Amino acid sequence: MFEGPFGSQLFIFNKNLHKYLNDNVLKYDLNYIQMLFLIRIDKFSNVSQKDLADIFFLTKGYVAKSIKDLENKGFIIRSKGLEDKRQYKMQLTEKALNLIPEFKKINSAWEEKMGLNEINDEFFDTFKKLTRKSIELNEDD
Amino acid sequence: MFEGPFGSQLFIFNKNLHKYLNDNVLKYDLNYIQMLFLIRIDKFSNVSQKDLADIFFLTKGYVAKSIKDLENKGFIIRSKGLEDKRQYKMQLTEKALNLIPEFKKINSAWEEKMGLNEINDEFFDTFKKLTRKSIELNEDD
């Protein structure tokens, strides 16, 4: 089924990760990408919407819509920055903070089911190198 | 930038492949997934819209919209099947057939720029194994 070019396999692999994680965060009224956003905001409190777009290679419009939804659902609070008033500062609510350990569990469960702990470091090194290269190819243009 | 769980890396890697290929097929008034569809229809003339949804793990609605667009733009012709009249048969037009070699060139150029020919088979075997496993995890549920 997923024979064919490496690119197609990558597409299918990512789709299935996406589906698995979406299915697992649906009960929190979230999608997978919103989960990634919340984890990132928890880790780096100064992250901006532009940063999120840059980190995950998403359009600013997509991020704005997604963040607005998180705000409406009570996962984050936005407040205008003191220095740059155009820049919103985002903060997790208690509701979101309580979910962070759940998110980690969901991700660990996926990694365990996938058997990632049995894969050697060389694979992950190569994968990281290729990921970096794929980013560079888009920067060249 | 792409430190963090393997899942995030996979997401970012795929996003960048997606972006690269989209940028390269934009001139044909197509997106990357439509290119994958055309290659698949070229290879397997009996492929149905349901097959495309199953192969690429996309919703039927998304596939239907995408195929309709390909039809409107003159890349494919749809005709009702003789046996099952609910099933449309899809066929590439000459315009699309002429593009197939271009698509292969675009994919080969990406693979070459990525240096995939320098990566050992073990990596690709593991990658394929993981892709298959990610599909299975969604089938279990």
The pLDDT tens digits for B86-98 are: 677 899 999 999 9
User: CB distance from A22 to chain B under 8 Å?
Assistant: no
Distance separating alpha carbons of residues A21 and A33, to the nearest angstrom? 9
Q: Look at residue B89 in the predicted model and tell me its pLDDT.
A: 83
Distance separating alpha carbons of residues B77 and A24, to the nearest angstrom? 39
Instruction: Using DSSP, state whether A120 is helix, strand or coil.
Output: coil
Contacts of B118 (CB under 8 A, 6+ apart): none
CB B2 within 8 A of CB A132: yes
Q: Look at residue B113 in the predicted model and tell me its pLDDT.
A: 94
Crossing angle between the packed helical segments A6-25 and B6-25, to the nearest 10 degrees = 130
Q: Look at residue B86 in the predicted model and tell me its pLDDT.
A: 65
How many C-beta atoms lie closer than 10 Å to residue B52's C-beta? 22
Task: Give the whole-number percent of chain A exceeding pLDDT 70.
Answer: 91
Mutate: best of A17, A25, A63, partner B, most B CBs <10 A: A17
User: CB distance from B88 to chain A under 8 Å?
Assistant: no
Single-letter amino acid, residue A96: A
Single-letter amino acid, residue B10: L
How many C-beta atoms lie closer than 10 Å to residue A14's C-beta? 22
Convert the pLDDT of each residue in B22-70 to its tens digit: 999 999 999 999 999 999 999 988 899 999 999 888 999 999 999 999 9
Q: Look at residue B118 in the predicted model and tell me its pLDDT.
A: 93
Q: Look at residue B8 in the predicted model and tell me its pLDDT.
A: 86
CB B57 within 8 A of CB A12: yes
Q: Do B10 and A20 touch (CB under 8 A)?
A: no
Minimum-distance CB partner of B131 among A12, A20, A58: A12
Contacts of A12 (CB under 8 A, 6+ apart): A1, A2, B55, B56, B57, B131, B134, B135
Minimum-distance CB partner of A16 among B57, B115, B119: B57
Q: Do A58 and B127 touch (CB under 8 A)?
A: no
What is the helix (H) or strand (E) element at residue A37, kind and residue range? helix A32-43
- Using CA of residue A116, residue B132, residue B24, residue B108, what is the dihedral sign? positive
Q: Do A16 and B124 touch (CB under 8 A)?
A: no
User: CB distance from B21 to chain A under 8 Å?
Assistant: yes
Q: Look at residue B85 in the predicted model and tell me its pLDDT.
A: 63
Instruction: Using DSSP, state whether A76 is helix, strand or coil.
Output: strand
CA angle B114, A16, A138 (to 5 degrees): 30
Minimum-distance CB partner of B14 among A1, A11, A20: A11
Q: Whole-structure pTM over 0.90, yes or no?
A: no
Minimum-distance CB partner of A17 among B10, B21, B123: B10
Pick from A20, A133, A45: nearest CA to B118:
A133
Q: What band does B1 get if pLDDT is binned at 50, 70 and 90? A: very low
Convert the pLDDT of each residue in B99-131 to its tens digit: 999 999 999 999 999 999 999 999 999 999 999
Say how many Å lie between the first and final Cα of chain A, rounded. 33
Number of A/B CB contacts below 8 angstroms equals 149
Tokens representing A7?
């690119």
The stretches in chain A having pLDDT less than 50 are 1-2
Q: Look at residue A8 in the predicted model and tell me its pLDDT.
A: 86
What's the rounded mean pLDDT across residues B65-84?
A: 89
